[in-house]
């Protein structure tokens, strides 16, 4: 059995592991022309360009409202990963 004081040390590690392992993923579709232009101008793939926008801290405790009627909620430490479709289907960009 784990002592209560020790279990508190595991909590952040487990949360971090779960967040990384089960984070939602958005697939990024782009044309070859867009990929080429983006790469030439910034050295980034489309998913890499969007990735910084996929992490949400606390939003300064501003509650979010959904389309459904209900109580607003606070989104804290949310992470959404972006992946280029070329990485999924095995074709190189």
State the DSSP string of 6-24: HHHHHHHHHHHHHHHHS--
Q: For residue 81, what is the enclosing H or E element?
A: strand 81-84
Is residue 81 one of the residues assigned to a domain?
yes
Look at 3-7, 46-50, 67-71, 81-85 and tell me which has the smallest mean pLDDT. Answer: 3-7
Evaluated on CA atoms 2, 8, 75, 16, the torsion sign reads negative
Is residue 35 one of the residues assigned to a domain?
yes
Q: What is the model's pLDDT at position 92?
A: 54
Q: Which residues contact 48 (CB under 8 A, 6 or more apart)?
A: 82
Is residue 4 one of the residues assigned to a domain?
no
Number of domains in the chain: 1
DSSP helix/strand/coil, 50? helix
pLDDT digits (tens, 9 = 90+) for 30-73: 999 999 999 999 999 999 999 888 887 777 777 777 777 777 77
Q: What is the model's pLDDT at position 1?
A: 40
Structural domain of residue 31, as residue ranges?
15-89
Evaluated on CA atoms 69, 70, 72, 77, the torsion sign reads negative
């Amino acid at each position: 059995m784990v002592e209560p004081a020790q279990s508190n040390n595991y909590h952040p590690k487990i949360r971090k592991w779960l967040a990384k392992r089960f984070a939602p993923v958005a697939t990024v579709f782009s044309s070859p022309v867009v990929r080429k232009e983006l790469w030439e101008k910034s050295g980034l793939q489309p998913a890499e360009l969007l990735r910084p926008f996929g992490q949400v801290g606390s939003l300064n405790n501003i509650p979010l409202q959904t389309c459904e009627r209900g109580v607003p909620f606070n989104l804290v430490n949310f992470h959404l990963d972006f992946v280029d479709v070329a990485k999924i289907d095995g074709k190189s960009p």
